[in-house]
């Protein structure tokens, strides 16, 4: 009997911890989103939210339905495998509504993104030290972007 009386403070401590744990569980229930853990260690609803994001890229098939001429020229050159939007940027809006004009590209910046000489690129990949190679001229002065081999598509 007196053992219980004399350990009363321990029960108080235990009660304090119990209240603390319950408070924590309450806060947790409030803060953890409902769909957490539905598929894995993340919020399940996030998948639907991400799927609902607007599409920015149309894909090259879409471009080719209207720009068959470009596709034709591109097919025979070394850029055949390079996607339209890799150079032109996301153009889903333009593909939906062609009256939205795509931005003009600056080849002095665009081409070196892939072709600037760098030790990290595979040796066989065509690369140039832009300053020496073009002497500041835009690349499309001599290369046709859609079929870049000199003399292939003909410089513009």
Partner 1 sequence: MTTGVEGYMYPNEITLYWSVLIVLYPYITGLVAGAFILASLERVFRVDAVKPTYRLALLTALAFLLVAPLPLQLHLGHPERSLEMYFTPHRTSAMAMFGFVYLWYLMAVLTVEIWLDYRRDIVVMAQSSSGLKRWIYRVLTLGSNNINERALAIDERVGWLITLIGIPSAFLLHGYVGFIFGSIKANPWWSSPLMPVVFIFSAMVSGIAAVMLLYMLIMRLRREKIDMLCVDTIARYLFYIFIVDFSLEMLDLVHRIYEADESFRTLNFMVHTKLYFSQIVLQIFVGTLTPILLLALTQVLKLPEIARKRIYTVAGCLTLIGIFAMRWNVVIGGQLFSKSFLGYTTYKMALATREGLLMSIALTLLPLFILWVLVKLLPPWPEKVQAEIPATTAAN
Write down the residue that tokens 């593909």 correspond to: 95
Report the phi/psi class of residue 101: left, alpha or beta, with left for phi > 0 and alpha for psi in -120 to 50: beta
Interaction between residue 134 and ligand HEC (CB under 6 A): yes
Work out the number of other CB atoms within 10 angstroms of the CB of residue 86.
14
Considering only residues 9 through 38, tell me which ones interact with partner 1, judged by CB under 8 A. Answer: 9-10, 12-13, 16-17, 24, 28, 31-32, 36-37
Which range touches ligand HEC (CB under 6 A), out of 12-20, 26-34, 38-46, 56-64? 56-64
Interaction between residue 1 and partner 1 (CB under 8 A): no
Interaction between residue 47 and partner 1 (CB under 8 A): no
CB 69 within 8 A of CB 147: no
Compute the distance between CA of residue 60 and CA of residue 56 in angstroms, rounded to an integer: 13
Residue 31's SS3 state is helix
Measured from the CB atom, the residue of 42 and 125 that comes closer to ligand HEC is 125
Interaction between residue 117 and ligand HEC (CB under 6 A): no
Compute the distance between CA of residue 135 and CA of residue 139 in angstroms, rounded to an integer: 10
CB 78 within 8 A of CB 68: no
Residues of this chain that bind ligand HEC (CB under 6 A): 58, 60, 62-67, 70-71, 74, 78-79, 82, 84-88, 91, 94-95, 98, 102, 104-105, 107, 110-115, 125-128, 130, 133-134, 137, 139-143, 145-146, 148-150
């Amino acid at each position: 009997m007196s053992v219980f009386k004399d350990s009363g403070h321990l029960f108080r401590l235990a009660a304090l911890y119990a209240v603390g744990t319950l408070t924590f569980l309450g806060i947790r229930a409030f803060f953890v989103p409902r769909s957490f853990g539905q598929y894995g260690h993340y919020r399940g609803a996030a998948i639907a939210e991400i799927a609902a994001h607007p599409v920015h890229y149309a894909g090259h098939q879409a471009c080719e339905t209207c720009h068959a001429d470009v596709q034709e020229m591109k097919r025979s050159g070394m850029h055949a495998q390079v996607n339209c939007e890799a150079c032109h940027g996301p153009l889903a809006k333009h593909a939906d509504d062609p009256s939205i004009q795509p931005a003009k590209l600056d080849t002095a910046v665009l081409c070196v993104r892939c072709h600037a000489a760098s030790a990290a690129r595979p040796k066989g990949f065509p690369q140039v030290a832009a300053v020496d190679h073009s002497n500041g001229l835009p690349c499309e002065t001599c290369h046709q972007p859609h079929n870049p081999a000199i003399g292939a598509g003909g410089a513009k």
